[in-house]
Amino acid sequence: MKFSKLHGCGNDYIFLNCLEGAPGDLPGLARRLSDRHFGVGADGLICAFLSATADFKMVMFNADGSEGAMCGNGIRCLGKFLYDGGLTDKTGLAIETRAGERRMNLWLEEGRVVSATVDMGEPKVGLPIQSAVKGINYTSIPVSMGNPHSVVQVERPEELDLETIGPVFEHWSYFPDRTNTEFVRVDDPAHLSARVWERGSGETLACGTGACAAVAALHRAGKCGRDAAVRLPGGELRVTLADDGRALLTGPAAEVFRGEVDG
C-alpha cells in the first residue's frame, strides 16, 4: 500500500489515494500507521475519495482512530497530494468533508503546490464559559468550525503543562464529543501565539481549524482584528475573517516522504 506523508506547519498526516477503493478498517489503520514508534508516525490519516458533489472527498482519522470532521492543515496538504500527484490539474478545488464542502485555491512555485488558501466557512462562536482546571480558573470560548473548539486566552502558553491540562479540557463535560483546545496569547491585534491540544491526537504543532477558532473568538471579544497571523510551534498560519463572517485560512503544505507499507 503506497502512502505519502505531508505536513502543514508540523501538523503531519499520512495520505492514501482511495479513488479506486480503500483498504478495510480505516480507523485501525489510522491507529497503526500514526504510531510514532511502531508505525509511520503522524497526527492522523487522511484518505482521498471520489465525491458525487465536489471534486474530491476528504475522510480523516485522528491518531486514536476517531473520525474527524475537518482539518485545516490536512485539507491544504490534501490539495498538494492531489495536484502534485497528478490526480488533478485544477488549482481551485471543492472538497467534500463531514463539516460540509470546503473550497480552496492552491498556490504554486515551479509547478508544485507550496501553500493554499481555504474557505473554512463561518465560525460559530458561543458565550464564554468559566471553568476551574487543576485549581486555576480559565475562561473558555466555545467555537464550532465544523469540529468543536475551546479557545482559552492565557499569558504564557509556552509554560503550560499541556500533557496535564489538555486531556481535562478535551474531556470536559460541556463537549460531549470531546473538544480541541487552543491556549492563546494576544501579542498585538494582528498577531496571536498559541498551543493546541487536539482531541484524539494530543498536542500538535499546529491546527488550522484551531487558528480560525482563535481569531474568530478573540475578534468577537475585541482582542484582535479581522486579519491575524497565528504563531504556532510548527509555524505561522494567517486567518482573515471576511465581511460575511467566513474564515479564510492560508498556510503552507509540504511533503515529507513517500513510502509503502503492508495493508
- Model confidence at 98: pLDDT above 90: yes
pTM: 0.95
pLDDT, tens digit (0-9, with 9 covering 90-100), for 195-251? 999 999 999 999 999 999 999 999 999 999 999 999 999 999 999 999 999 999 999
> In whole angstroms, what is the distance from residue 177 CA to residue 1 CA?
32
Say what the pLDDT of residue 132 is: 87
Exposure of 161 by Cβ count < 10 A (0-12 exposed, 13-18 middle, 19+ buried)? exposed
Cβ atoms < 10 Å from Cβ of 147: 25
pLDDT at res. 262: 83
Residue 86 confidence class, pLDDT cut points 50, 70, 90:
very high
Q: Give catalytic status of residue 71 as yes or no.
A: yes
Percent of the chain with pLDDT over 90: 95
User: What tens digit of pLDDT does each residue of 160-195 get?
Assistant: 999 999 999 999 888 999 999 999 999 999 999 999
Give the span between the Cα atoms of 54 and 78, in whole angstroms: 14
Pair 181, 143: CB distance under 8 Å: no
User: 263 pLDDT band (50/70/90 cuts)?
Assistant: low
Which is catalytic among the residues 9, 47, 77, 207? 207
Cα angle: 32, vertex 33, 35; to 5 degrees: 70
Q: Report whether pLDDT(135) > 90.
A: no
Alpha helices in the chain (DSSP H): 26-34, 72-84, 162-170, 208-220
Query: Closest Cα partner for 234 from 16, 6, 2, 8?
Result: 8
Half-sphere exposure of 208 (CA within 13 A, CB side): 30
Q: Is 77 a catalytic residue?
A: no
Rounded to 5 degrees, φ, ψ at 83 are: -75, -50
AA letter at 143: V
User: Above 70 in pLDDT, residue 77?
Assistant: yes
Which member of 47, 71, 212, 224 is catalytic? Answer: 71
Beta bridge mates, 237: 230
pLDDT tens digits for range 8-59: 999 999 999 999 999 999 999 999 999 999 999 999 999 999 999 999 999 9
Domains and CATH numbers, the chain: 2-121+251-260 (3.10.310.10), 124-245 (3.10.310.10)
Note the pLDDT of residue 95. Answer: 98
For residue 79, pLDDT over 70 is answered with: yes
Q: In whole angstroms, what is the distance from residue 75 CA to residue 212 CA?
A: 14
Amino acid identity at 200: G
Residue entry with cell 463535560: 173
Residue type present at position 245: G
Least confident of 22-31, 98-107, 129-138, 198-207: 129-138
Helix, strand, or coil here: 128?
coil
